[in-house]
Structure 1
Amino acid sequence: MITAYRDNGEAVVISAVKPPVSLPSDIVWIDMLRPDKAEDLLVEGFLGIDVPTRDDLKDIEPSSRLYTAKDAVFMTASLVCKAESGQPELTDVAFVLTKGLLITIRYDEPKAFDLFTAAMHRIPGGCTTGTVLVTRLFETIVDRTAEILEIAVARIDGLSLQVFGDRPAGKRRPPHFLEAKLMDVASHHRLVAKTRDSLASLSRVLTFLYTVPTVQENKDTKELCRTISRDIQSLSEHASFISGNITFLLDASLGLINVEQNAIIKIFSIAAVVFLPPTLVASLYGMNFDFMPELKWAYGYPMAVVGMVISAIVPYYFFRWKGWL
């Protein structure tokens, strides 16, 4: 689907079935969402450039992501999408500046684009050129990335309270509670990792965009580009801090699991020690010797039973006194 935007934020849908003869003069942005071959050819005919395909967007080499050709600037950035779901993903989006227009090619729907189109008409001074528009769009993308990190922080704080929060006295955690929380830790780590990758990609793109002549010629755009770069740096440091918190939460959860497992093993160990003296008594009187005085004694059996009970009770209270139980 091809959606063209006028400088006042008004959207115009362009169909490849009944294409217009030419683009309206006030169009500043062409947004291509999951374009097919016919739509690629249509835009290429309008602008005289080669539109990057899905395969082109997958290239990871800097020379394939950031370059200039035929007076057009090509940039590819990796953006986070589906952040609110349990399976966040990175999607590659191409940004092309040519003839005063911005062309975006994407095969997914990052929320930043919806936020930008909804507020495009409220941008101070308007988006009269593709250069102004792309810097404002990157500003919205970075703001959305900051929001994603806030979502991650809120989720991690909630998970931390579940793992380390106070429990009512005598109430135990459900079986495999901590093991289940490890899956949540992995999910949060995936979100933060994807965000860090996106910030690294955006940092490269903004560094390249800052050198574009049309950006250098506009003082406001140049300053905005520099501000966005500083924001990306700050967010990258914040993402590293969050990643450290996730690592701590993972290590602490594993430590708690080991503590619980050690407590179970300790119970079995103490039980084995408690029953060892009665076993010794029973083994002693189970020997097949002819001369054992207690075998002929009328109270021999009760005495042996009492001896086994006492030999079990004494270690138990000894362990209680030492605080091992």
Structure 2
Amino acid sequence: MIMIYSADGSARPLAAAEPIDVCPDDTVWIDLHCPTRDEETLVERVLGIAVPTRDELKDIEPSSRLYAENSAIYMTASVVWRSDSEQPELTDIGFVLAAGRLVTVRYAEPKAIGLFIGAFSRCVDGRWSGLKVLSRLLETVSDRSAEILELAERKVDDISRHVFAANARQGRRGRVFPQAILFNIGEEQRLVAKTRDSLASLYRLLTFFYALPVLQEDKDMRELCRTITRDVQSLSEHANFVSGNITFLLDASLGFINLEQNAIIKIFSIASVVFLPPTLAASIYGMNFKVMPELEWTYGYPLALCLMVLSAIVPFFFFRWKGWL
């Protein structure tokens, strides 16, 4: 699908079968969402550029993601997608500046793009231009990354509170459910890792974008780009901080699991030691020998029972006194 956006904030779809001159002169942004080959061909004929294919957007080499060709500037950034789901992903978005217009090529619907489209018609600081659209779009992606990190940090804090509070109340009355906790920790780690990768990609793009002569000529957009670059750098550092907290939380959770397992093993070990003397006494008096004095005693059987009980009680209280129980 092709959507074209004009400098006055208006937008309308564009069909691949429409004539080449259908694109108005005041068009500042052409958004290609999951384009077909016919739609790509139409944009290429209108602007005289090569539209990046889906495979080209996946290239990871910097020379394939940030370059200039035939008076057009090509940039690719990885943006977090489906951050609200259990399986967040990265999607590659291509940005092409050509003839004063911005062309975006994408095969997903990141929330940042939807937020920017919703705000496009409410521009309050003058008319749009291709350079301005790109700068504001990158700003929206940066703001959305900040929201994702903020939500992830809150969830990590909730998980941390649950882990430590549950283990503080645990004692002998219950147990923690480590599988669910570890699943939640892994889920947040995946989201933060995807956001870190996205911020790294965005920082490389902004560094390349800031050095372009077309940006240096526009003072307002240059200052905006500098601000976004600082924000992205700060967010990257914050993402590292959140990732460190997740690592600590994972280590703490595994530590609690080990303590719980050790406590269980300790109980079985002590139980085996407690019942070892009674087993020994029962084994001795269960022997079938003809000459065994205790067999002729009137109170031999009660005495053997008392001996077994006493041999179990004495180790139990000894362990309690030593603090092993």
Same-fold status (TM-score > 0.5): yes
> Can you list the C-alpha shifts for 1:221-256, whole angstroms capped at 9, x where unaligned?
111111111001100000000000000011011111
The equivalent of 1:203 in structure 2 is 203
Does the CA contact (< 8 Å) of 2:79 and 2:92 recur in 1? yes
Alpha-carbon distance between aligned partners in 2 of 1:15 and 1:91, rounded to the nearest angstrom: 24
Partner of 1:113: 113
Q: Is the 8 A contact 2:9 2:123 kept in 1?
A: no
Q: Which amino acid aligns with 1:281?
A: A
Which of 171, 174, 183 is the aligned partner of 1:172? 174
* Counterpart code for 1:226: R
Residue equivalent to 1:282: 282
CA distance in 2, matches of 1:227, 1:169: 51
Q: Which residues in structure 2 correspond to 1:34-53 (within 5 Å)? A: 34-53=34-53
Does residue 65 in structure 1 map to residue 65 in structure 2? yes
C-alpha distance in 2 between matches for 1:251 and 1:207? 36
How big is the shift at 1:323?
Answer: 2.4
Query: Does structure 1 conserve the Cα–Cα contact (< 8 Å) formed by 2:101 and 2:130?
Result: yes
Q: Tell whether the 8 Å contact from 2:66 to 2:76 is kept in structure 1 after alignment.
A: yes
In 1, Cα distance between equivalents of 2:170 and 2:54 = 55
- Tell me the residue number matched to 2:294: 294
- Residue 83 of structure 2 aligns to a residue whose secondary structure is coil
SS of the aligned residue for 1:122 comes to: coil
TM-score by length of 2: 0.96
Q: Which residue of 1 aligns with 2:191?
A: 191
Runs of 4 or more, structure 1, over 4 Å off, are none
Q: Cα RMSD between the aligned structures?
A: 1.5
- The C-alpha deviation readout for 1:302-324, integer Å capped at 9, x for no partner, is 11111101111111122222222
Amino acid at match of 2:60: I
Distance in 1 (CA, whole Å) between partners of 2:67 and 2:90 is: 21
What's the % identity of the aligned pairs?
60
Aligned partners of 1:127 and 1:133 also within 8 Å:
no
TM-score normalized by the length of structure 1: 0.96
Contact 2:59 2:65 in 1 (8 A): yes
Contact 1:57/1:94 (8 A) holds in 2: yes
3-state DSSP class of the match of 2:13? Answer: strand
Q: Shift of the alpha carbon at 1:12?
A: 1.0
Alpha-carbon shift at residue 212 of structure 1 (Å) = 1.2
Alignment partner, residue 320 of structure 2: 320
SS of 2:21's equivalent in the other structure is: coil
Q: Distance in 1 between matches of 2:127 and 2:83?
A: 28
Per the alignment, in what secondary structure is the counterpart of residue 321 of structure 1?
helix
Counterpart of 1:172, as a letter, is G
In structure 1, the residue corresponding to 2:31 is in which secondary structure?
A: strand
| Long gaps (5+) in structure 2 | none
Deviation at 1:288, TM superposition (A): 4.1
The AA in structure 2 aligned to 1:10 is: S
- State how far apart, in whole Å, the 1-side matches of 2:126 and 2:235 are: 27
Query: Helix, strand or coil: the match of 1:21?
Result: helix
CA contact (8 A) 1:14 1:20 kept: no
Structure 2 equivalent of residue 93 of structure 1: 93
Query: What secondary structure does 2:174 align onto?
Result: coil
Deviation of 1:170 after TM superposition, in Å, equals 5.5
Q: Who is 1:267 aligned against?
A: 267
How many residue pairs get matched? 323
Contact (CA 8 Å) 1:7, 1:126: kept in 2 or not? no
Partner of 1:90, secondary structure, is: strand
Letter in 2 for 1:89: E
Query: Which residue of structure 2 aligns with residue 32 of structure 1?
Result: 32
Asked if the contact 2:66/2:205 (under 8 Å) is kept, the reply is yes
Structure 2 equivalent of residue 10 of structure 1: 10
The 3 A distance-change label for structure 1 pair 257 and 45 is same
| Deviation of 1:54 (Å) | 0.3
Task: Give the letter for the 1:173 counterpart.
Answer: R
Q: What does the per-residue CA deviation read over 1:126-178, in whole Å, with 9 as the maximum and x for residues that have no partner?
A: 3532111101110111000000101111111111122111537764136xx11
Contact 2:20-2:46 within 8 A present in 1 as well: no
What is the letter of the counterpart of residue 78 of structure 1?
Answer: S
Contact 2:9–2:128 (Cα < 8 Å) also in 1: no
> Which amino acid is 2:225 matched to?
C
Native 8 Å contact 1:77 1:94 kept in 2:
yes
Aligned equivalents of 1:44 and 1:300: distance in 2? 105
Alignment CA distance shift 1:127-1:187 (3 Å): farther
Distance 2:243 2:76 in 1: 25
Q: State which drifts further: 279-288 or 21-30.
A: 279-288
The one-letter code matched in structure 2 to 1:256 is F
d(CA) in 1 for partners of 2:173 and 2:109?
45
Question: How much has 1:208 moved relative to structure 2?
Answer: 0.4
Q: Deviations over 1:30-84 (max 9, x none)?
A: 0000000000000001000000010110111111000001100000000001001
Question: In the alignment, what sits opposite 1:138?
Answer: 138
Q: Corresponding residue for 2:149?
A: 149
1:21 aligns to 2:15 (yes or no): no
Q: Residue in 1 aligned with 2:256?
A: 256
